[in-house]
Amino acid sequence: MGHTAVSVGGMRIGILGTGNVARALAAGWATAGHDVVLGSRRPEERMDVTGAGFTVVGLDAAVADAEVVVNATPGTVSVELLGSVGAAALAGKTLVDVGVGLSDDFTELSHPNSSLGELIQKAFPETPVVKTLCTMDASVMVRPGSLEGRSTVFLSGDSAAAKQLTARLLTDLGWSAASQLDLGGIGTARGQEHFALLFIGIAEGLGSHTFNIDVVTLPSGP
């Protein structure tokens, strides 16, 4: 089931993280007209990021002024980093989680019997969490139209309102309503994150990380 998504402009988005994913999302949403900052534990040390034209502030500041918070930190430390910001600061804000916890050699999940999305939601019950965009690389997240043919982006979360808001932000990155598939509650984030191991295998088989998958159904009609 896809979302009926329309663009929403001028939102304040705080992206926690300064890596490739965070920078790609920041550029994509800024181009769509949103006010975006990146949050870092050590913003004074990220001159490489600020020199590239991004605004980098501390984690607390990135969250304080944001209407939407995006977790683009390494999945192995995300809960700890969010905990340093505090539940009170995150309460009531939609948190879009794109992280996946993997071992250093990318062969094992750090949450094999759960998901990062579920752990974040459990740790911060007053913050609606939506899992999305974790089944592809950064370039596809913000340029789905660069691929040959259509592909699918997934959403998992317990809050219908938070998923609707996230769907609109996905639209601003180029994901049509038809390409967005709502999987259900935050428990379904487990499937999204566990796809990471298959993603790595496909990437090795193709010799490229720039690809995505599509959910193909039976044709309609008799």
Using one digit for the tens of pLDDT, what is the confidence trace for 128-167?
Answer: 999 999 999 999 999 999 999 999 999 999 999 999 999 9
3-class secondary-structure state, position 155: strand
Residue reference for tokens 């600020």:
50
Residue reference for tokens 């049509």:
176
Residue reference for tokens 């769907």:
167
Q: pTM of whole model > 0.85? A: yes
Using one digit for the tens of pLDDT, what is the confidence trace for 69-94?
Answer: 999 999 999 999 999 999 999 999 99
% residues pLDDT > 90 (the chain) = 87
State how far the Cα of 181 lies from the Cα of 185, in Å rounded to an integer: 12
State how far the Cα of 75 lies from the Cα of 79, in Å rounded to an integer: 8
Does 4 score more than 60 pLDDT? no
State how far the Cα of 86 lies from the Cα of 58, in Å rounded to an integer: 13
pLDDT for 1 equals 42
Ramachandran region, residue 184 (left: φ > 0; alpha: ψ -120 to 50; beta: rest)? left
User: What DSSP string runs through 53-115?
Assistant: T--EEEHHHHHHT-SEEEE-S-TTTHHHHHHHH-HHHHTTSEEEE----B-TTSSSBSSTTS-
